[in-house]
A and B are shown apart, each in its own frame.
Chain A
Amino acid sequence: MYGRGLRFLSIASFVALTVAFALVFFYAPNDADQGFVYKIFFLHVPLALVALGGFVAGGIYGIKHLRSGRREDDMKSYVAIHLSIILGLATLATGMIWAKASWGHWWVWDEPTLVAFLIVFLLYSCYQPLRFAIEDPERQARYAAVFAVIAGAFVPICFMSVRFAQASVTHPRVLDSSGSLPGSMQLTLLVSLGAMVLLFMTLWKYELTSKHAKAQLRTLKRRLALGA
């Protein structure tokens, strides 16, 4: 039941990623100041947005699990957060490469978006230690869902207070100023973002399918052992 549509999703995200990278390399113009290196932005921004979106999805499925108590919702929340942590690590890595290339330092503290993202990433990194320190599976699911909700509420507060603490804002704000981007860059960014969303959904579905198949296999084995 979980495997349905997986082949289509995989092909679609492969095609979308290929198109996105083709656009990044051959279609989007080089930046006037930064030249070629700014193009990491077409990877960095979608990664960051999809990671934050994944955290939000984890929180929503967490609420769903608390309301319904169904195991699938907890699995969905867990896989979304766990994939977003990986994407978050990639976001920090690409952000640091870009910062080194354009500002000359690997890490810049007077950069609210970077710092807030780091704090959020540190908080979500505690998800797995917390989850696997609880043995009882039902309690594990419930506590993980509570964590997902708390952390979800924390994200906007964190971004707000870190931004307040900085007098100047140098980080490019893509979402506010997308009107100021040239059309070709905007198109490339949108395609890259779409491809990243597809990739996230494919990976999410793959992991859910695998977890579901494993659980089914375990039930079958147990039944076989009982029968024999």
Chain B
Amino acid sequence: MSTAGAVAALLRKDLRLELRTRESVPAMLLFSVSTFVIFRFGLDRETLAGDLAAGVLWVTLLFAAVLGINRLFVAEREEGGFDAFLLAPVDRTAMLWAKALLLFAFLTAVELAAVPVYSVLLLGPSPFQALPGLAGLLVLANAGIAVVGTLVAALAIQTRARDLIVPLLALPLLLPIVIAGAQATAPLFAPAGAEPLPGRWLTVLGLYDVIFGLVAFAVFDFLLED
């Protein structure tokens, strides 16, 4: 079986699992909406704009992503999926790409619902002008979160304290994404209407994706060896 075929099979399996159990995406979305409400009272503002709006959105998405990362390999661990996968004559990085694509799909699904909710509940300026720039940023950021999240999840799943290790590792590792995302989104949410997107942040996000993509490709095999 080719690697692409293995990735597709794994991805199909995981998507079907999610469609039947509805475990991760609804939880991440509910968590995001609750966090928006918490920020409304924590900051005591009814509308947000500029860098504050960008910060609240990115922090919320980051924490929601940590929830998804925590659950990423639980089914494999509990149902013996790792052993079955290791017995199959396929490249082990297939698991990395399948799980990264799955996490990417989860994040995109959550954002498709969470960003409209955010613009209704909290965002002051109109979101429509900001939309193309924000969509580009989110795609690049999701790719980075997906790769790093898969690595962190694979590192943590074999430890005794998975729930503790995932946020401890993921938050500092994902900080560059929050820095770039929040800095680049702030002008898009400017109170007087969207200002142009600073292009260098797209470069930072792209560089982050490429570097961690390569690192993940190089080290992922060692996390499955047994």
Contact = CB atoms under 8 A, between A and B. Distances in A.
Is the A/B pair a real complex?
yes
Interface of A: 66, 119-120, 122-123, 126, 129-130, 133-135, 139, 142-143, 145-147, 149-150, 153-154, 157-158, 160-162, 164-165
Interface in B8-36: none
Contacts of B169: 123, 126, 130, 147
A120 B200 CA distance: 22
B211 A157 contact: yes
A150 B215 contact: yes
Contact of A162 (B151, B179, B200, B226): B179
Contacts of A161: 176, 179-180, 204, 208
A119 B201 CA distance: 19
B86 interface: no
B137 to A, nearest CB: 14
Contacts of B219: 66, 146, 149-150
Given A126-B165, A146-B155, A165-B179, A119 B172 contact: yes
A119 B164 contact: no
A42 B10 CA distance: 55
A147 B165 CA distance: 12
A166 to B, nearest CB: 10
Interface of B: 151, 155-156, 158-161, 164-165, 168-169, 172-173, 175-176, 179-180, 183, 200-201, 204, 207-208, 211-212, 215, 218-219, 222-223, 225-226
Given A146-B223, A165-B183, A160 B204 contact: yes
19 contacts: A66-B219, A66-B222, A120-B172, A126-B169, A126-B172, A130-B169, A133-B159, A133-B160, A133-B164, A139-B158, A142-B225, A143-B158, A145-B222, A146-B155, A147-B155, A150-B212, A150-B219, A154-B173, A164-B204
A149 B217 CA distance: 12
B161 A153 contact: no
B173 A150 contact: yes
A126 B168 contact: yes
A143 B160 CA distance: 13
A98 B52 CA distance: 31
A45 B38 CA distance: 42
Nearest to A139: B158
A36 to B, nearest CB: 36
Given A126-B169, A134-B159, A142-B222, A153 B215 contact: yes
A165 B178 CA distance: 11
Contacts of A147: 155, 169
Contacts of A130: 155-156, 159, 165, 168-169
